[in-house]
Amino acid sequence: MVIENLNDLKNLAKRIAINLKEKDVILLKGDLGAGKTSLVTYIAEFLNSKDKVSSPSFSLVNIYRADIVINHLDLYRLEEEKEIESFNFEDYFYPIKSLTFIEWPEMAKSYLPKKYSTIEIIKIDDNKRDINIFGKLKERMEEN
């Protein structure tokens, strides 16, 4: 689907938030500046988080309190996949009552859980994005 502006992105984030379930793992794919962190920001907002959402590029992981715990990982800085082992990566998939969003998941292919959904964001121009959703999340959104 094509998103024309931030208002469209907020509306999509709301639809996504409504369809998320505990323990969902969402892979976020897109170039730098595509809007991955912006999407997580709006989703967290719709899940009643009061925390400031920011890119976890330097910390690797940010955790936000909301109606459900939101784990936000950014693997951009990793140079090789085995660096994942340095911070208990897999622990973020299994906590009770949580969601996990992973930016730059390509850096952890061997460590990803078997079940996940993917949101791919393609930057068309400064405002416009083509957003594609795959997996269980897409199925849930089509049902609602």
pLDDT at 58: 76
CATH code of the domain in which 123 resides? 3.40.50.300
What is the domain range of residue 12?
Answer: 2-143
Q: Between the CA of residue 62 and those of 13, 65, 93, 140, what are the distances in Å?
A: 19, 10, 14, 26
How many domains are contained in the chain? 1
pLDDT at 21: 95
Q: How far apart are CA 58 and CA 60, in angstroms?
A: 6
The answer to whether the CB of 25 falls within 8 A of the CB of 108 is: no
The answer to whether the CB of 102 falls within 8 A of the CB of 25 is: yes
Within 8 A by CB and 6+ apart from 144, the residues are: 15, 18, 19
Q: Between the CA of residue 126 and those of 33, 121, 123, 129, what are the distances in Å?
A: 9, 13, 7, 8
pLDDT tens for the 144 residues of the chain, in order: 999 999 999 999 999 999 999 999 999 999 999 999 999 999 999 999 999 998 887 788 999 999 999 999 999 988 888 888 777 777 777 667 899 999 999 988 888 888 999 999 999 999 999 999 999 999 999 998
pLDDT at 95: 63
Q: How far apart are CA 124 and CA 28, in angstroms?
A: 17
